[in-house]
Amino acid sequence: MAALRALLKLRAPAAWRGMVGRQATRSLSEFTSLEEKPQFPGASAEFVDSLEFIQPNVISGIPVYRVMDRQGQILNASEDPLIPQEQVLKFYHTMTLLNTMDRILYESQRQGRISFYMTNYGEEGTHVGSAAALTDTDLVFGQYREAGVLMYRGYPLDLFMAQCYGNALDPGKGRQMPVHYGCKDRNFVTISSPLATQIPQAVGAAYAIKRENADRVVICYFGEGAASEGDAHAAFNFSATLECPVIFFCRNNGYAISTPTSEQYRGDGIAARGPGYGILSIRVDGNDVFAVYNATKEARRRAVAENQPFLIEAMTYRIGHHSTSDDSSAYRSVDEVNYWDKQDHPISRLRHYMMHKGWWDDEQEKVWRKKSRKLVMEAFEEAERKRKPKLEYLFSDVYAEMPQHIKKQEEALAKHLKVYGEHYPLDSYEK
């Protein structure tokens, strides 16, 4: 973990340190009295007498931390997290089960059985690696592509299906569009559609945890596209100035819907923004589940111990379409997608690692794939048989006591259905 801790230190590269050092030397020689030194309260600096703008490329590219290569070989033994076989198998089972669920629910939407879906293809390593490094009491704010985090915490398949189908088992009572999961018992805050709103909310929750002096951390997931929203920048500053135990986890998957990163920003990714806000930052290989695990575990330890925020940028690739409302073939090539799917996939990388260890083989793979599909199909078929939630749930859970205007709406619906009920599939709803 020594290399990881070094990466988490905010150190400028040699070129920048040299430039600052030369300026500081000149400043000290020319402005010898204390009164001539800068006294501005807003920054730490020295005076210089030559006009020179800071270049965007003064800082060389932020390195990408990884533990194993694409063939599943550990690169540096000192960085091996030495995770027991049983837990590594849980990593793999979760990642592949999520992949299987994605395929079935994606096809379900294409067949008109559900209204919407978003897959997690290619990003499974970011989910599982980070989830495994947290405790069950740590609070999770997701965006909409973190189903693996919830699955790792034991959320059952039938509830995933219930939410996507909006049936009577859905904890949200059918009032959310698909993939907007939430589970209070597993400390997973219900997902909202508006982009980036969860980021400042997560900081507020972290500040509350700090005031409680609890041994907990908040982790907030978002994509690199969401990092361009004003909410993200406000949250970064909020977290640093109030010293909140929060981990900002950015999944940089290359595309904000149809907009590639090359058109989203000119800086060096998202991790480069952390130092500007006073946030310890690191960039990791998001397709390396162990690198994600190490970075999140160390960030969590320090966030709790030191009450400060951390920013993790996990470099990965969105293999699937942004959602079922998107056709990614319109803005990227099939060859590009195939490369990431076949050559640098987090699931295949972990499988190679397990095979090197003698923990997995082709026969086990065949058996598990068959079993995982059976588990998902059973939950899928059960979800389709369930009725929809009661119609009265349209009006409940907004106010502790239903106000008059909501009561009028409920009465109006009842009158409408009494006259025109034959035109609605009322038999499909619970009474």
Place of tokens 């400390």: 187
Beta strands 218-223; 188-189: pairing state:
unpaired
Indicate if the alpha-carbon torsion angle 313, 316, 321, 323 is positive or negative: negative
- What φ, ψ does residue 287 adopt, rounded to 5°? -90, 0
Active site residue 108: no
- With beta carbons less than 8 A apart as the criterion, state whether 104 and 323 touch: no
Active site residue 323: yes
Catalytic-role residue among 27, 322, 345, 372: 322
Catalytic-role residue among 323, 348, 382, 410: 323
Catalytic-role residue among 115, 193, 329, 428: 193
Nearest alpha-carbon partner for 175 in 388, 409, 33: 388
Taking residue 255's Cβ as centre, other Cβ atoms within 10 Å add up to 22
Active site residue 325: no
Angle (nearest 5°) at CA 397 between 391 and 401: 110
Beta strands 259-260; 255-256: pairing state:
antiparallel
Give 12-60 as a 3 state SS string: CCHHHHHHHHHHHHHHHHHCCCHHHCCCCCCCCCCCCCCCCCCCCCCCC
Active site residue 29: no
How far from the centroid of its chain's Cα atoms is residue 302's Cα?
19
Catalytic-role residue among 30, 107, 306, 430: 107
Q: Give catalytic residues, as residue numbers.
A: 107, 193, 322-323
